Structure 1
Amino acid sequence: MLRGGTALGALAAFGLPQLAVGSANAATMEDWALPPDLEKAKVEGLEYASYGMPDTWANYGEVLQKLGAQLGIQIHHTDTDMSSLEEVTKYDAEKDNPVAITSDIGILFGPVADAKGVVPPYTPPNAARLPAGLKGPNGGWVATFTGVPTIITNTDVVKNPPKTWEDLLKPEYTGKVQSIDPSAGGATDVAFFLAWAYAFGGDENNFDGAVEYAKKLLGQFSAVSANGQTLEKGEVPIQLQCDYNAIAAAKRLKDKGISSDVVVPGVSIYAHYAIMANKYNLAKMNIAKLMLDFVLSDEGQTAFARFGAHPIRVALGDLTLPDDAKANWLPDSMYAQVKNIPDWSKVSLQRIAEVWQSQVAGG
């Protein structure tokens, strides 16, 4: 039985329509057009597999716990880390034996998923809050929150941390900066390249300044993989992360007695992220439908905020957060030069990859 009353009462909390009547038959593709079956979702949600959205990514662990609480179940979540492009490719490769229910993607990879045909024709009710471009035209994915490219530095190792993009080029940081490759299909790496475009006189269509900067930055990159352990040990003491992940990483370091510095290095961008559902995972479609809607609910959006992310509905002016939900955010002053990309549909992933490969990596 759901906490707080009837199943219909719980659905009201999700902002969902009344339940579809379930049947004993196996789900079909046509069933994506139906409202979620709550009783089936309770069973489906007990084991929840995802790609690229671990518990520690923007607070997805708590989001899933809160969804489980609404359903009266304990969700056991497992995740496999991969890039946005890898997630789309994996959905297609595993179509006959699907594993993941949902994945976190950069907003630019929503159209990639659409073109590949791996997301379902299901639009959750709360997606009505989003304008075109922040949700799949036929369903399947919705924007969730924004992230801002930032620099986090282990200051026990690097006593004088970089504060600007230009600072990263200083000789003292050679071999200490996390490497990125926006041609490899990772949404965060793409966001950093776009941030450099804006920081050095360009925009989402003019990459000249970003290319010149990136060519210089290549010589600063560490050959060691960047992750929480290499940040902690000082093997890659300067890492490039979106603000919400940098905030979380700084907290983990502090808990271990390690000092750090997180900074938005001047001009940057608001990079939109999204969640997509796996069309082929018919056995888990009801919990997927609920998850697509729950991430846009007041409760889901607030959970992202408490972690340090800026919820998409806040960015749209559709949600006002209590002050305590913003306790982990960086100071407002750091965002003074952060830019909004006016039309993400005009950003070409293919062009970014080609420019990087031909003019930066091969330049």
Structure 2
Amino acid sequence: MLSSSARRGAAVLLSAAVLTTLTACGAAPDQKSGGADGAKNGVQPGAATSVADFGSLEALAAAAQKEGELNVIALPPDWANYGEIIKAFEAKYKIKVNSENPDASSADEIAAVKSRKGQKRAPDVLDLGIAFARSGAAENLFAPYKVTAWDKIPAGQKDADGRWTNDYGGYVSIGCDAARIPTCPQTFADLLKPEYKGKVALNGNPTKSGSAFGGVYAASLANKGSFADIQPGIDFFGQLKKSGNFIPVESTPATVEKGETPISIDWDYLNAGYADQFKGKGVDWKVAVPTDGVYAQYYSQAINKEAPNPAAARLWLEFLYSAEGQNLWLKGYARPVLLPGMTQDGTADQAAVAKLPQVQGTPAFPASEELDKAKATLAEKWDKALS
């Protein structure tokens, strides 16, 4: 469950309500989507806004199977268990998933939607960060669709019209190789200790990488900053660099395995994945969600309005937001948006829940304007602070 820096670059905020619960526990679309392909009452699959337009989930599946394939983009198989999710979907519905450019960014996804409009190889579905989900919706690029579980998804985690919906996410965490670090840090304050000289890394530049950006935001919260003021986080990393603790090396699976970045600030589901990935390979990777800077984010799902396989696109979303799909996120250490309700009704994989990194403290979340201000501040001041 690893990742590329590009894929890490776009994430969205988890809601306080959800997190509080968690801590407590070639052909153009019209060539493939005629009325006979599964939608009822003359509704084309590409215009369907819910399963009701097909009559049933079984009818939707039949329409999707007639299309026979699904185009996805920017889904690394080792990111939050996407590899197993894709295989499970293919096996269940006998639909081929065409996965293109797994390491693409959200910007690349949007570009593909625009440049391949009307083409058979256009992406059917998208996994996006909030900035791209919102901008794409504003550009009318996405089809409105409300999954069967729509009413169970908190209002703050979805577009009111169903053009995008949050799905899975995680917390900023500190990963540490206990085979190389005698005492692993548990908080941002710990990272300043002299014993960690030349050991601490982010997974990219926070002006480009979403998780690195989250790391700076979390550091700000840990140092009397706020979502309206990310400067303390920038100052913290400046101090970390001056002390010699912070190294300007992007943390990747390769650098972790080689011991080049023995302490890495990253999403908890990716750090937890390293623990599994490198078990038995001389790496004893531990994960801690710092109590002094709790920060978390979600990713969003959307359907291309011009999807060449519109029924398959809708079936994919139904699968992701089913108990089966949500539990597959859990298996990849990601926290699915429906976890609170699944915990209550007993459908959550409790063994997978028990393996999630422990979280303490109450998360806080920036407003959109605060997020924009933070990004602008980073763009202006990050390089200077670390020079």
Give the shorter-chain TM-score range. Answer: 0.7 to 0.9
Q: Output the CA distance in 2 between the equivalents of 1:146 and 1:129.
A: 17
**Could you say which residue in structure 2 is the equivalent of 1:228?**
253
Aligned 1:80-159 pairs, distance under 5 A:
80-95=102-117, 97=119, 99-159=122-182
2:227·2:371 contact (CA, 8 Å) conserved in 1?
A: no
Counterpart secondary structure, 1:329: coil
Shift of the 324–166 alpha-carbon distance from structure 1 to 2, 3 Å rule, reads same
Counterpart secondary structure, 2:156: coil
**Could you say which residue in structure 2 is the equivalent of 1:15?**
none
**Could you say which residue in structure 2 is the equivalent of 1:54?**
76
Q: Output the CA distance in 1 between the equivalents of 2:288 and 2:36.
A: 51
The answer to whether structure 1 residue 210 and structure 2 residue 233 are counterparts is yes
Q: Output the CA distance in 2 between the equivalents of 1:21 and 1:64.
A: 27
Counterpart secondary structure, 1:164: coil
Q: Output the CA distance in 1 between the equivalents of 2:356 and 2:35.
A: 40
Counterpart secondary structure, 1:362: helix
What percentage of residue pairs aligned between the two structures are identical?
Answer: 25
TM-score (norm. length: structure 2): 0.74
Residues 299-308 or 218-227, more deviating: 218-227
Give, as a single letter, the amino acid of the residue that structure 1 aligns with 2:286. Answer: D
Residue from 241, 261, 283 that aligns with 1:258: 283
RMSD: 3.2
The answer to whether structure 1 residue 298 and structure 2 residue 323 are counterparts is yes
How many angstroms does 1:32 deviate by?
A: 5.2
2:47·2:143 contact (CA, 8 Å) conserved in 1?
A: no
2:73·2:109 contact (CA, 8 Å) conserved in 1?
A: no
Shift of the 305–29 alpha-carbon distance from structure 1 to 2, 3 Å rule, reads closer
How many angstroms does 1:111 deviate by?
A: 1.5
**Could you say which residue in structure 1 is the equivalent of 2:314?**
289
Aligned 1:71-86 pairs, distance under 5 A:
71-73=93-95, 75=97, 77-86=99-108
Q: Output the CA distance in 2 between the equivalents of 1:274 and 1:28.
A: 25
Counterpart secondary structure, 1:275: strand
Shift of the 216–105 alpha-carbon distance from structure 1 to 2, 3 Å rule, reads farther
The answer to whether structure 1 residue 22 and structure 2 residue 22 are counterparts is no
1:231·1:237 contact (CA, 8 Å) conserved in 2?
A: yes
Q: Output the CA distance in 1 between the equivalents of 2:224 and 2:195.
A: 26
**Could you say which residue in structure 2 is the equivalent of 1:307?**
332
Shift of the 47–287 alpha-carbon distance from structure 1 to 2, 3 Å rule, reads closer
Q: Output the CA distance in 2 between the equivalents of 1:303 and 1:258.
A: 25
Please, which runs of 5 or more residues in structure 2 have no aligned partner? 1-33, 55-59
Cα deviations across residues 151-193 of structure 1 (Å, max 9, x unaligned)?
Answer: 1122333343322212223444344332343322x33233323
Residue from 13, 30, 39 that aligns with 2:62: 39
Residues 305-314 or 318-327, more deviating: 318-327
Counterpart secondary structure, 2:308: helix
2:112·2:122 contact (CA, 8 Å) conserved in 1?
A: no
**Could you say which residue in structure 1 is the equivalent of 2:205?**
181
Shift of the 65–239 alpha-carbon distance from structure 1 to 2, 3 Å rule, reads same
How many angstroms does 1:249 deviate by?
A: 1.0
How many angstroms does 1:354 deviate by?
A: 0.8
Residue from 373, 380, 383 that aligns with 1:351: 373
Cα deviations across residues 2-53 of structure 1 (Å, max 9, x unaligned)?
Answer: xxxxxxxxxxxxxxxxx96318xxx9896355746433422555454321x2
Shift of the 197–240 alpha-carbon distance from structure 1 to 2, 3 Å rule, reads same
1:147·1:244 contact (CA, 8 Å) conserved in 2?
A: yes
Shift of the 77–318 alpha-carbon distance from structure 1 to 2, 3 Å rule, reads farther
**Could you say which residue in structure 2 is the equivalent of 1:278?**
304
The answer to whether structure 1 residue 247 and structure 2 residue 272 are counterparts is yes
Q: Output the CA distance in 2 between the equivalents of 1:119 and 1:101.
A: 10
**Could you say which residue in structure 2 is the equivalent of 1:328?**
355
Please, which runs of 5 or more residues in structure 1 have no aligned partner? 1-18
Shift of the 43–254 alpha-carbon distance from structure 1 to 2, 3 Å rule, reads farther
Q: Output the CA distance in 1 between the equivalents of 2:237 and 2:321.
A: 35
1:306·1:327 contact (CA, 8 Å) conserved in 2?
A: no
**Could you say which residue in structure 2 is the equivalent of 1:69?**
91
TM-score (norm. length: structure 1): 0.79
Q: Output the CA distance in 2 between the equivalents of 1:159 and 1:93.
A: 51
Counterpart secondary structure, 1:271: strand
Give, as a single letter, the amino acid of the residue that structure 1 aligns with 2:296. Answer: Y
Give, as a single letter, the amino acid of the residue that structure 1 aligns with 2:163. Answer: G
Q: Output the CA distance in 2 between the equivalents of 1:315 and 1:189.
A: 27
Q: Output the CA distance in 2 between the equivalents of 1:206 and 1:122.
A: 36
Counterpart secondary structure, 2:220: helix
Q: Output the CA distance in 1 between the equivalents of 2:233 and 2:68.
A: 43
Q: Output the CA distance in 1 between the equivalents of 2:304 and 2:112.
A: 10
Give, as a single letter, the amino acid of the residue that structure 1 aligns with 2:384. Answer: G
1:182·1:352 contact (CA, 8 Å) conserved in 2?
A: no
**Could you say which residue in structure 1 is the equivalent of 2:262?**
237
Residue from 159, 167, 177 that aligns with 2:190: 167
